[in-house]
């Protein structure tokens, strides 16, 4: 059991006395609906059985002591519940610190400190939302240790708030929502304009979900992400001069075609086209899945990738290679980049008997073209956060 190792490490570092809680929050993968969540569109993510384990204990003073088994070289990083601010030296602990800060901003001030040891089995920087997993986990732990009256949906919103306001990434709600609200065997069809959602069972008879991790270093990801977001905002402002809409998610494809000339800048027009078409594709894909039409679902995944490559321009040679090589393998139902892009990973639906060939062929072609290896994970859809002990 992984969590027992994490607890043992906690006791080594911080001692075994008092009440110690053991917790888990998943990572997530988005099946379709990319870069729609800050455009009032739909997304279709699911929580995974891989994620972040946390062992925590309340303190009597104001001190925060954090340790990650993924970054052991950083040692124990300390701060205080008073005067929380993002600091470069605080490294990954800016995520839990941000959540503690965000609870305070929402009227739930954390008055006492805590000791926390984390271990994540989500591959680092893979685009499976290790940071949102840490945020939701922290919120879940605060709720349990200090008795705050918050729902899992509140934990998602607080996590997003902390990422936007404390850590400076203008992300949408998808990642934190998928993690906080996860349900085994199901994806979440979420309307990001209203937060109305439905669970849709993922019944892939004779097929698996395979994640291909590009291992590309992220680099400029966050600034490019914020740039895409402003391009969409500019397009929306111009469209609002000619039609009465609140978000790009309000438009059908036909309406977009009718009004698109209102967007002066060609780049902004392409970004908006992706947001509108991707939202409609997501609605169609969930319908297809409900009708057991996995083939159509796969085709829509492929179309999503093309749009992210050509109109949204967030793929890059690494993700394009993984997807284009996947498309060549017989038994691949659909394949696309997932998450923010600019590196990270792809998600593919692959028939059982084709999984080995997929990993072998896509892996070899990637290594040859890119010069380093990709990693592959056959994943399962899991539940949201839990207290394990």
Binding site for ligand GLA (CB under 6 A): 34-35, 37-38, 171-172, 174-175, 339-340
State whether residue 191 is helix, strand or coil. Answer: strand
Q: By C-beta, is 146 or 197 nearer to ligand GLA?
A: 197
Q: By C-beta, is 175 or 325 nearer to ligand GLA?
A: 175
Instruction: Report, as residue numbers or ranges, the catalytic residues.
Output: 175
Residue by residue, DSSP assigns 70-94 as: TSGGG--EEEESSS----GGGGGGH
Q: By C-beta, is 113 or 127 nearer to ligand GLA?
A: 127
Residue by residue, DSSP assigns 129-155 as: -HHHHHHHHHHHHHHHHH-----HHHH
Cβ-based burial of 232 (10 A; exposed 0-12, middle 13-18, buried ≥19): buried
Q: By C-beta, is 340 or 359 nearer to ligand GLA?
A: 340
Q: By C-beta, is 171 or 236 nearer to ligand GLA?
A: 171
Rounded to the nearest 5 degrees, what angle is found at the Cα of 285, between the Cα atoms of 222 and 175? 30
What is the C-alpha separation between 38 and 252, in angstroms, rounded?
Answer: 17
Sheet of 114-120, strand order = 77-80, 63-68, 114-120, 45-58, 21-30, 386-387
What is the nearest approach in angstroms of ligand GLA to the Cβ of residue 168?
13
What is the C-alpha separation between 362 and 350, in angstroms, rounded?
Answer: 12
What is the nearest approach in angstroms of ligand GLA to the Cβ of residue 171?
3
What is the nearest approach in angstroms of ligand GLA to the Cβ of residue 278?
9
What is the nearest approach in angstroms of ligand GLA to the Cβ of residue 189?
15
What is the nearest approach in angstroms of ligand GLA to the Cβ of residue 85?
22
HSE-CB at 325 with a 13 A cutoff on CA atoms is 24
């Amino acid at each position: 059991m992984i969590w027992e190792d994490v607890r043992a490490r906690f006791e080594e570092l911080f001692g075994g006395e008092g009440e110690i809680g053991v917790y888990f929050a998943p990572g997530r993968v988005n099946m379709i609906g990319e870069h729609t969540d800050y455009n009032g569109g739909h997304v279709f993510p699911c929580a995974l059985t891989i994620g972040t384990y946390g062992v925590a204990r309340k303190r009597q003073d104001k001190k925060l002591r954090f340790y990650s088994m993924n970054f052991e070289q950083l040692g124990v990083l300390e701060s205080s519940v008073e005067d929380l601010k993002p600091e470069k030296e605080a490294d990954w602990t800016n995520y839990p610190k941000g959540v503690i800060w965000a609870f305070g901003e929402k009227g739930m001030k954390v008055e006492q400190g805590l000791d926390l040891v984390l271990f994540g089995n989500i591959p680092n920087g893979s685009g499976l939302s290790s940071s949102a997993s840490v945020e939701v986990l922290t919120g879940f732990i605060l709720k349990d240790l200090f008795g705050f009256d918050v729902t899992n949906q509140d934990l998602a919103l607080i996590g997003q708030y902390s990422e936007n306001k404390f850590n400076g990434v203008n992300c949408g709600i998808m990642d934190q929502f998928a993690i906080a609200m996860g349900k085994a065997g199901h994806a979440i069809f979420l309307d990001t304009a209203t937060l109305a959602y439905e669970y849709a069972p993922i019944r892939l008879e004779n097929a698996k979900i395979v994640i291909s991790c590009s291992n590309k270093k992220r680099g400029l990801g966050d600034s490019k992400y914020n740039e895409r977001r402003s391009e969409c905002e500019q397009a929306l402002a111009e469209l609002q001069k000619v039609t009465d809409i609140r978000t790009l998610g309000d438009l059908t494809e036909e309406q977009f075609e009718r009004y698109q000339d209102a967007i002066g800048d060609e780049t902004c027009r392409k970004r908006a086209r992706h947001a509108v078409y991707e939202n409609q594709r997501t609605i169609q894909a969930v319908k297809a899945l409900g009708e057991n039409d996995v083939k159509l679902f796969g085709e829509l995944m492929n179309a999503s990738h093309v749009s992210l490559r050509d109109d949204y321009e967030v793929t890059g040679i690494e993700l394009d290679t993984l997807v284009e090589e996947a498309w060549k393998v017989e038994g691949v139902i659909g394949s696309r980049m997932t998450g923010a892009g600019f590196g990270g990973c792809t998600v593919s639906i692959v028939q059982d008997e084709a999984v080995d060939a997929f990993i072998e062929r896509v892996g070899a072609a990637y290594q040859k073209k890119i010069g380093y290896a990709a990693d592959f994970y056959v994943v399962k859809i899991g539940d949201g956060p839990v207290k394990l002990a």
